[in-house]
Amino acid sequence: MKKLLSLLIAICGLLPLGVFAETLQLGRTGTTEIDIPQGWKREIVSGETPRGIEYEMHLTAPEGIKAKCLITLISANDDNPLSKSDYRYQVDGYSNQEASRSVEKKPSMKPWTPKNGTGEYCVLTDDWLATRETRPGQYRYEGLYFARYQNGCILIATALTDDLKSPEFQQMRQIFESIDPKLHVPRTGKIKVSKTERGTLFYTNTNATTMLVPSTSLSEDQIPKKYRGGGTSVPSYFMYIDKKQGIRISGWFFPEEDFCYADISGHWKANAPSEKDTALATPGSIKYGKSGDWDYMLYDQLISSTNMRASIIRKGTWIDLHLSTTEKETRDERRKVLIDYLASIELADKK
């Protein structure tokens, strides 16, 4: 039915034949309208960075066609939209970085018109591949497209091709022109923390669930300056360290409706550590499991650091945690410490 509707629209001249308008869910806090050509494969990755809430989408042309585009959308995660200076910082930083490896050496920007925003673009020629044959995964030309939308979102998009006159290169620009992001800030109250005889209690005024960590040795941890902003500026974010146990615990409280993944595997996929950021001892060493009603993902960073992401939805509240430790000698010991620590956490109705 959806394809039939798109076909009828195309016949009426509103969409090119073989292009389907879609609304894609971007993590827990937004959607975007986008026209994707038939046969193109897509992959969406989302996360939170010091720059803001960030969504990365890869679109690859059908098999046998050398074309690929990378799309990044960035939105603020506090009450203020990203500013013009934020946009300029992204454009200048990324375009100059890419141009340094190009024949052109400097980006020559031209205007283009995205939906509900303003934009600019340039085309660069890879310095190394300018006179050489390209291999699979290599591209001679790179089109860089930037946009700042009226709602403050920023687009950084890259079109990769060996032929600037190919229909696929034109299709990629049409894809960028169709993007219309609608991103919003997670709706959550400010985190509140209190000490009790049994431990440390975490809650917000807007969520119905409280979380008790049965440790009286918890103290607030200082967020490194380079990590301030982004996910750490969400009002419900907290970061504490248990010096007695040698465990750092941080996380967020969200309303249940902000969990917009089909299931927990979608959440883990969006937040899985990349291989370049981890030193996994063996292939497949990311471990998934359950502790009571908690779902968790374990992974290792560097040589002696073990991390856990844990997530639970209870009575309208979604709690997302990050625990880490470096205290024990072996990976198995560190993982057991984190699993036991998670199992000790108590959830209750807020009184």
Predicted TM-score (pTM) above 0.75: no
Burial class (CB in 10 A: 0-12, 13-18, 19+), 264: middle
All domains in the chain, ordered by first residue: 2-183 (3.40.1000.10), 192-349 (3.40.1000.10)
CA-to-CA dists, residue 164 to 27, 204, 284, angstroms? 33, 53, 40
Query: What pLDDT, in 10s, does the model give residues 82-134?
Result: 778 888 988 999 999 999 999 999 999 999 999 999 999 999 999 999 999 99
Query: What pLDDT, in 10s, does the model give residues 175-228?
Result: 999 999 876 555 678 899 999 999 999 999 888 899 999 998 999 987 765 555
User: What is the helix (H) or strand (E) element at residue 148, kind and residue range?
Assistant: strand 141-149
In degrees, to the nearest 5, what angle opens at C-alpha 333 toward C-alphas 313 and 245? Answer: 70
In degrees, to the nearest 5, what angle opens at C-alpha 148 toward C-alphas 147 and 150? Answer: 135
Query: What pLDDT, in 10s, does the model give residues 46-57?
Result: 655 544 567 788
Sheet with 199-203, strands from edge to edge, namely 192-196, 199-203, 209-213, 346-349
